[in-house]
Amino acid sequence: MKVFAVSGDKNWYKIGLSFQNAKWVGRTQATASILDTVVKGDEVEFTSTKDASGKDMFATVSKTGTATKKEEPQQKSTSTYTGKKRDDNSQFRTPDEITKQEIGQMVSRTMLVFSGTLDVNNLDVIETTIKRLFTIYEEQTRV
Q: What is the pLDDT of residue 10?
A: 85
Q: What is the pLDDT of residue 111?
A: 76
Residue ranges of domains in the chain: 2-65, 95-141
Q: What is the pLDDT of residue 28?
A: 87
Angstrom distance (rounded) from CA 116 to CA 106: 18
72 three-state secondary structure? coil
pLDDT tens digits along 63-77:
887 765 555 555 555
Tell me the mean pLDDT in the region 67-91: 53
User: b/e for 116-137, b at 16 or more Cβ within 10 A?
Assistant: eeeeeeeeeeeeeebeeeeeee
pLDDT tens digits along 93-122:
666 666 777 888 878 887 777 666 667 777
pLDDT tens digits along 20-77:
888 899 988 888 888 888 888 888 888 888 888 888 888 888 888 776 555 555 555 5
